[in-house]
Amino acid sequence: MTEEMRSIFEEARFKLNHLYFYIIVEEMSMIEILKAILFGIVEGITEWLPISSTGHMILLNEFVTLDVSPEFWEMFLVVIQLGAILAVVLLFWNKIFPFRFREKPVIRKDIFTLWFKILTACVPAAVIGLAFDDVLDALFYNPWCVAIALIVFGVAFIVIENRNKNASPKITELGGITYQTAFMIGVFQLIAAVFPGTSRSGATIVGALMIGVSRTVAAEFTFFLAIPVMLGASLLKLVKFGFAFTGEETVILLAGMATAFIVSVAVIRFLMGYIRRHDFKVFGWYRIVLGALVLLYFAFFA
């Protein structure tokens, strides 16, 4: 074999190896994107149903793991919720945006008041979250705590709905929520901030039902409360992670967020129609069964 032929052969082999590596990398990236879409579907479904989105994401990660750094995964778990927030903004724009631009600008004072109440409800979780975020992650972000929280709040849903079966709610519209009521709902949200698996929506809805808020109003206030809470939590995680994303990390994050947004729109519409005719007990039973299965799995198989 001449030197020229050997050189051509080596160059061809190098290009083939490079092409093979490129194909493998692309396949891996596509698999990770598909995983991110799966996480987005789970986030979009479980963020608004009172069954714990974070709990389901942690559990899903036991079986379908994103091939990313632990730091990116911790950030992804929270920031993917931004997609779900956009669904609330889209569906409830007229109830949360205080400005109207028609013949002349109009400011809705009732909506401003609502936002002050929402911010009041954010105070307990914000204080604890900023002070103890890393400690709480280390202590409670594990399948055992998730399972226990699923069961405990599942029982709470059933007990409270049975207690309220023949009772009429005291608060049947958003304007009826006082600052005191908003703060009390915020205290229940604090429980969700501490214990993953509790469900932020589940905790706030349980709290609202206990103090006499109707299901529809409880659900809507929970949706609106999610906007500043998730924005704050996402910003905190982004700052901790930094903004130096790789191209693959950017695509994975955007794929998860976009999927969460699309699924959330459908789920919120479903939930608002469902609770007008049914109570929350079915979600309580679901939480109990899922929590028991998780305990069994990690006790005998993990």
8 A C-beta contact, residue 129 and residue 54: no
Confidence of residue 13 (pLDDT cuts 50, 70, 90): low
Q: Which residue has the higher pLDDT, 133 or 196?
A: 196
Taking the CB of residue 162, how many other CB atoms lie within 10 A of it? 12
Confidence of residue 7 (pLDDT cuts 50, 70, 90): low
Coil, strand or helix at 170: coil
Most confident of 125-129, 172-176, 195-199, 296-300: 172-176
Confidence of residue 22 (pLDDT cuts 50, 70, 90): very low
Coil, strand or helix at 245: coil
Q: What is the model's pLDDT at position 190?
A: 84
DSSP-assigned letters across all residues of 79-147 = HTHHHHHHHHHHHTHHHH--EEESSSEEE-HHHHHHHHHHHHHHHHHHHHHHHHHHHHHHHH-SHHHHH
Confidence of residue 24 (pLDDT cuts 50, 70, 90): very low
**Residue pLDDT, tens place only, 135-154:** 767 777 778 888 898 999 89
Tokens of 113: 């008041």
**Residue pLDDT, tens place only, 229-288:** 888 888 888 888 888 888 888 889 989 999 999 999 999 999 999 988 888 999 999 999
Tokens of 254: 């955007």
Domain ranges, residue 218: 3-300
Q: How many CA atoms lie within 13 A of 253 on its CB side?
A: 20
Which residue type occupies 162?
N
Q: Which residue has the higher pLDDT, 51 or 194?
A: 51
For residue 37, count CB atoms less than 10 angstroms from its CB and return exposed for 0-12, middle for 13-18, buried for 19 or more: middle
**Residue pLDDT, tens place only, 28-37:** 578 888 899 9
d(CA 229, CA 119): 9
Confidence of residue 200 (pLDDT cuts 50, 70, 90): confident
pLDDT score of 15 more than 60: no
pLDDT score of 193 more than 90: no
Confidence of residue 23 (pLDDT cuts 50, 70, 90): very low
Tokens of 275: 């609770």
Q: Among 158, 205, 169, 156, which residue's Cα sits nearest to residue 184?
A: 205
Q: What is the model's pLDDT at position 133?
A: 67
d(CA 45, CA 230): 16
**Residue pLDDT, tens place only, 84-119:** 999 999 999 999 998 887 777 888 899 999 999 999
Report helix angle 247-274 to 70-79, nearest 10: 30
Average pLDDT over residues 115-128: 89
- The pTM of the full predicted model, rounded to 2 decimals, is 0.83
Coil, strand or helix at 171: strand
Percent of the chain with pLDDT over 90: 38
pLDDT score of 12 more than 60: no
Number of domains in the chain: 1
Terminal CA-to-CA distance of the chain, rounded, Å?
A: 57
Q: What is the model's pLDDT at position 265?
A: 95
8 A C-beta contact, residue 299 and residue 148: no
Q: Among 95, 225, 100, which residue's Cα sits nearest to residue 173?
A: 95
Q: What is the model's pLDDT at position 1?
A: 52
- State the SS3 of 55-75: HHHHHHHCCCCCCCCHHHHHH
Name the DSSP letter for residue 213: B
8 A C-beta contact, residue 45 and residue 68: no
Give me the residue label for tokens 């920031």: 79
